C-alpha cells in the first residue's frame, strides 16, 4: 500500500482515506489486491500521471501480471479479485470459420429459435451480441462472425470470448480460414467447440472433416481426443441443442467463467455507431460488475454518463450484469469496437481520462511503439532472461512456407530463447496476421509476399514488427543473430511509394514501359522496385527510366501518371503494382 501511494504520487493517508470511502479498510503496511489498487489508481491516476501509468503502477504494486497465453487488459484481469466476491457468469461464445460455412446462418437460427417466444416480437435488429437460454442457463453469443473481428478486438487489449465455435462445412472441409481460426483461438487461449455444419447437404462428409481436424490437433471424442464436435444443420436446425449443451459443458469444465456483479462495471465495446435521435450509441458486453443507468463511463477516448440501457430485445433495463450485452446511450462520441469501457467515480474523472487518452493516441500516431522486435529481443538476451520469440510466417506458396518452417525448426532451441511459430499461412500479409502478431507478441515474417494496405496501416498503428525477406537464409540469419544477442542493424529497403500499372507499351522491341499511376508516396529515379502480382513478388529490379510524357524526371508523386522502365524486367501486366524502395541502414 505504501508502495502504491508512492507510485501514484500521493500520500499514504490519502489513499487510505479514499479506499475507506469506497468500503475498503487497509493499513499502510498491508498488501492490497489488484482491484483495490486499480480503484485507487483510477481515482488518483488522472491527477498524478497518465491513466496507463496509473494502471501500470497498480499492476506493479500488486505484482499482478496477465495470465500466460491470455494477456488480459489490466481492467479485465480477475486474478487479483477476492475469490469470495466471484460468482459464476454465463459463457460468451464467438463463431469462427471459413467463409460460407454457415457462421451467420447458425447465429441467426440460434437467435430466432432459442429466444423465448414472448420476447421474439421485441427483437428488431441485432445489437452485436445476444443471449439465449438452454435448460434454464444463459449463453451469450457475439453476433459478428469471423476471426477478423475477434482478433481486432484482442489487438486492442479486449478479450471477450470464452469459447470459440469453429464452424466447418461438412461438404467443404477444412479451408484456409478454418486454419486461421484455429490459430487465432489457440493464440487467445480459448477452447474450441467444433460445429460440423451443413450435414443435411448431399456430399456432406463429416468423417472426413473429423480426420482433417485431427490432423490439426483437434481430435474429437469419437477418435479418442477431447475436442467437442457437434454435427449441425443451420437449415434443418439439427444439432443446435447439442451445440448449446456442449458450450455449457465446455464452459463448466474448461472455463468456469466468473465475475463479481457487485462492483463497478468493466466491459468491452463490441459495436458503436450514430443513431438518429439517439446520438452515439454503443453495445457493451459487460464482463465484470454491473453497469447502471447514471454511471459515469469512459471507453477509449470517449466519455459520458449512461442515459439509458437497452437489452438485446430492445427493452429498457436499469442495470446489466456480467456477460450481458447492452446498448448504452449517453456517450460523447462513437467508440472504436474493442475499446474497454469502465465506470469512474466522477464525471470529471471520465472526462480527464478520455482527454488524456486522446492526447496519448495523437502522440502514438507520431511515434508508434514497437511491440517486440528482433532488436528488443537482443536486449532481453543480453540481460540473460529467457524469452520466447513468437513468429507469424507468411509465404507465397506452400512449398516455401514449408522450407521456411523447416529451416527455422533446424535452429533448435537456444537456452535463452525459444522460437515458436504461432501462425502461418500462404498469401499476402493481412491485417489479421498483424493482429495475431500483436496479441501473441510476435514478429511477422513475410517471405516473397507483401502486406496489403490495411495490413501496412495496422502494423504502423499497432507497432508490430513486420519483416520481408526473399532469401530463407536471411531469415534464419537474423533470427540466429537476435537469439545470440548479436543482432546488428542491416541495410534495408525502405518503402517509398506505390504505383499501379494501367497500360503496358513496348517501343521498338526495347524494354517494356509500364504506364503507371502513382497510388501513394512517390517513385524516384534511383529507387529499387518490386513488381507485385496478387500480393506476390514477380520481379525485383532497379529503375532504368522514369518518364512523364516524353521527359525524364527525378520523381513522380501520388495521383500522377508516369512511365516506368525496369532494368531487368519486361513482363508487366495491367494491374501489377510497382513498389519503390530506397536502401537505408535499418534504424530500430
CA atoms within 13 A on the CB side of 539: 19
The 8-class DSSP code of residue 221 comes to G
280 sits near ligand GDP (criterion: CB under 6 A): no
Q: Determine the Cα–Cα distance for residues 558 and 580; give it in Å rounded to an integer.
A: 12
Span near ligand GDP by CB under 6 A; candidates 46-54, 101-109, 270-278, 430-438? 101-109
Active site residue 198: no
| Cβ nearer to ligand GDP, comparing 177 with 448 | 177
What is each CA distance from 216 to 162, 274, 411, in whole angstroms? 21, 42, 23
Is residue 306 a contact partner of residue 317, using CB atoms and an 8 Å limit? Answer: no
Handedness of CA 513, 519, 522, 528 (dihedral sign): negative
- Binding flag, residue 100, ligand GDP (CB under 6 A): yes
Q: Counting contacts by CB under 6 A, is residue 120 touching ligand GDP? A: no
Give the C-alpha separation, 20 to 550, whole Å: 79
Asked whether position 209 contacts ligand GDP by CB under 6 A, the answer is no
Residue of 104, 171, 441, 461 marked active site: 104
Is residue 104 part of the annotated active site? The answer reads yes
What is the Cα–Cα distance from 194 to 509, expressed in whole angstroms?
59
Is position 103 an interface residue for ligand GDP (rule: CB under 6 A)? yes
CB of residue 150 to ligand GDP, shortest distance in Å: 14
Residue 104 in contact with ligand GDP, rule: CB under 6 A? yes
Nearest-CB residue for ligand GDP: 102
Nearest to 549 by CA among 495, 513, 525: 513
Indicate the burial class of 180 (C-beta count within 10 angstroms; 0-12, 13-18, 19 or more).
buried
Catalytic residue among 100, 413, 460, 552: 100
Taking the complex as a whole, how short is the minimal distance between the CB of residue 108 and ligand GDP, in angstroms? 7
Sign of the Cα torsion 25, 62, 156, 253 reads negative
Nearer to ligand GDP among residue 236 and residue 386 (C-beta): 236
Nearest to 76 by CA among 267, 231, 211: 267
Closer residue to ligand GDP in complex, CB, 201/533: 201
Cα dihedral 460, 465, 466, 470, rounded to 10, equals 140
Catalytic residue among 73, 98, 147, 530: 147
Among 235, 380, 481, 517, which residue sits at the site for ligand GDP (rule: CB under 6 A)? 235
| Of the candidate residues 3, 56, 200, 242, the single one contacting ligand GDP (CB under 6 A) | 200
By the rule CB under 6 A, 175 interacts with ligand GDP: no
Window contacting ligand GDP (CB under 6 A); options: 193-201, 256-264, 392-400, 564-572: 193-201
Q: At closest approach, how far in Å is the CB of 216 from ligand GDP?
A: 19
Q: Is 559 marked active-site?
A: no
Instruction: Using the rule CB under 6 A, give the single segment among 45-53, 125-133, 180-188, 229-237 that binds ligand GDP.
Output: 229-237
Query: Looking at 102-110, 333-341, 477-485, 576-584, which segment touches ligand GDP (CB under 6 A)?
Result: 102-110
Catalytic-residue membership of 73? no
451 binds ligand GDP (CB under 6 A): no
Catalytic residue among 103, 342, 394, 438: 103
The per-residue b/e assignment along 245-274, b for 16 or more CB within 10 angstroms, e otherwise, is ebbbebbeeeeebebbbebbbbbbbbbbee
Residues 237-266 as x/- pattern, contact with ligand GDP by CB under 6 A: ------------------------------
Is there binding between residue 101 and ligand GDP (CB under 6 A)? yes
- Provide the 8-state DSSP code for 368: P
Backbone φ and ψ for 58, nearest 5 degrees, come out as -65, -45
Contacts of residues 281-284 at CB distance under 8 Å and 24 or more positions apart, as own/partner, are: 281/327, 281/328, 281/329, 281/331, 282/327, 282/328, 282/331, 282/334, 282/335, 282/341, 283/127, 283/128, 283/129, 283/325, 283/326, 283/327, 283/328, 284/320, 284/325, 284/326, 284/327, 284/328, 284/341
Strand partners, 275: 279
Pick one of 8, 44, 59, 105: the residue that binds ligand GDP (CB under 6 A): 105
Task: Kindly give, in sequence order, each residue whose CB lies less than 8 Å from that of residue 17, ignoring residues fewer than 6 positions away.
Answer: none
198 contributes a contact to ligand GDP by CB under 6 A: yes
Binding residues for ligand GDP, rule CB under 6 A, total 16
With respect to ligand GDP, which residue has the nearer C-beta, 195 or 501? 195
Residue 234 in the binding site for ligand GDP (CB under 6 A):
yes
Q: What is the largest CA-CA distance in the chain?
A: 89
* Euclidean distance between CA atoms 443 and 166, whole angstroms: 26
145, 206, 267, 425: residue in contact with ligand GDP (rule CB under 6 A): 145
Of these, 45, 91, 102, 173, which contacts ligand GDP (CB under 6 A)?
102
Q: Footprint of ligand GDP on this chain (CB under 6 A)? A: 97, 99-105, 145, 197-198, 200-201, 233-235
Active site residues: 100, 103-104, 147
Amino acid at each position: 500500500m505504501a508502495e502504491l501511494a508512492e507510485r501514484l504520487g500521493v500520500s499514504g493517508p490519502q489513499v487510505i482515506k479514499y479506499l475507506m470511502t469506497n468500503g475498503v479498510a487497509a493499513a499502510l503496511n498491508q498488501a492490497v489486491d489488484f482491484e483495490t489498487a486499480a480503484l485507487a489508481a483510477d481515482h488518483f491516476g488522472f491527477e498524478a500521471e497518465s491513466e496507463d501509468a496509473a494502471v501500470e503502477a497498480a499492476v506493479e504494486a500488486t505484482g499482478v501480471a496477465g495470465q500466460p497465453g491470455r494477456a488480459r487488459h489490466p481492467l479485465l484481469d480477475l486474478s487479483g479479485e477476492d475469490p469470495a466476491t466471484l460468482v459464476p457468469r454465463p459463457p460468451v461464445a464467438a463463431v469462427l470459420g471459413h467463409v460460407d460455412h454457415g457462421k451467420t446462418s447458425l447465429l441467426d437460427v440460434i437467435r430466432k429459435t432459442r429466444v423465448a417466444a414472448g420476447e421474439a416480437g421485441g427483437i428488431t435488429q441485432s445489437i452485436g451480441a445476444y443471449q439465449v437460454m438452454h435448460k434454464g442457463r444463459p449463453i451469450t453469443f457475439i453476433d459478428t462472425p469471423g476471426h477478423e473481428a475477434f482478433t481486432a478486438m484482442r489487438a486492442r487489449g479486449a478479450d471477450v470470448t470464452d469459447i470459440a465455435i469453429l464452424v466447418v462445412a461438412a461438404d467443404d472441409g477444412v479451408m484456409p480460414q478454418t486454419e486461421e481460426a484455429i490459430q487465432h483461438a489457440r493464440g487467445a487461449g480459448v477452447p474450441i467447440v467444433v460445429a460440423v455444419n451443413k450435414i443435411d447437404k448431399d456430399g456432406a462428409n463429416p468423417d472426413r472433416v473429423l480426420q482433417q481436424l485431427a490432423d490439426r490437433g483437434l481430435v474429437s471424442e469419437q477418435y479418442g481426443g477431447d475436442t467437442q464436435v457437434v454435427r449441425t444443420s443451420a437449415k434443418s436446425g439439427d444439432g443446435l441443442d447439442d451445440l448449446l449443451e456442449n458450450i455449457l459443458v465446455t464452459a463448466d469444465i474448461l472455463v468456469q467463467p466468473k465475475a463479481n456483479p457487485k462492483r463497478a462495471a468493466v466491459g468491452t465495446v463490441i459495436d458503436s455507431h450514430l443513431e438518429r435521435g439517439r446520438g452515439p450509441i454503443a453495445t457493451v458486453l459487460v464482463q465484470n460488475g454491473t453497469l447502471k443507468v447514471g454511471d459515469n463511463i469512459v471507453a477509449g477516448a470517449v466519455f459520458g454518463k449512461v442515459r439509458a440501457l437497452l437489452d438485446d430485445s430492445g427493452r429498457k433495463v436499469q442495470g446489466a450484469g456480467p456477460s450481458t450485452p447492452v446498448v448504452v446511450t449517453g456517450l460523447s462520441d462513437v467508440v472504436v469496437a474493442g475499446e474497454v469501457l469502465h465506470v469512474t467515480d466522477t464525471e470529471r474523472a471520465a472526462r480527464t481520462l478520455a482527454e488524456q487518452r486522446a492526447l496519448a493516441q495523437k502522440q502514438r500516431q507520431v511515434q508508434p511503439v514497437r511491440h517486440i522486435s528482433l532488436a528488443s529481443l537482443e536486449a532481453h538476451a543480453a540481460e540473460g532472461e529467457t524469452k520466447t520469440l513468437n513468429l507469424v510466417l507468411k509465404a507465397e506458396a506452400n512449398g516455401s512456407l514449408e522450407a521456411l518452417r523447416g529451416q527455422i525448426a533446424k535452429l533448435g532451441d537456444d537456452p535463452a530463447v525459444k522460437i515458436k511459430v504461432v501462425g502461418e499461412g500462404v498469401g499476402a500479409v493481412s491485417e489479421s496476421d498483424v493482429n495475431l502478431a500483436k496479441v501473441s507478441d510476435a514478429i511477422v515474417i513475410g517471405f516473397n509476399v507483401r502486406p496489403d494496405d490495411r495490413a501496412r496501416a495496422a502494423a504502423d498503428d499497432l507497432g508490430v514488427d513486420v519483416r520481408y525477406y526473399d532469401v530463407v537464409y536471411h531469415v534464419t540469419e537474423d533470427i540466429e543473430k537476435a537469439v545470440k544477442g548479436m543482432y546488428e542493424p542491416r541495410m534495408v529497403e525502405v518503402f517509398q511509394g506505390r504505383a499501379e500499372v494501367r497500360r503496358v507499351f513496348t517501343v521498338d522491341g526495347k524494354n517494356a514501359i509500364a504506364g503507371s499511376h502513382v497510388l501513394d508516396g512517390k517513385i524516384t529515379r534511383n529507387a529499387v522496385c518490386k513488381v507485385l502480382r496478387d500480393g506476390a513478388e514477380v520481379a525485383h529490379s532497379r529503375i532504368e527510366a522514369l518518364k512523364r510524357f516524353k521527359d525524364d524526371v527525378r520523381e513522380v508523386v501520388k495521383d500522377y501518371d508516369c512511365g516506368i522502365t525496369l532494368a531487368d524486367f519486361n513482363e508487366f501486366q495491367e494491374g501489377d503494382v510497382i513498389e519503390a524502395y530506397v536502401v537505408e541502414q535499418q534504424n530500430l
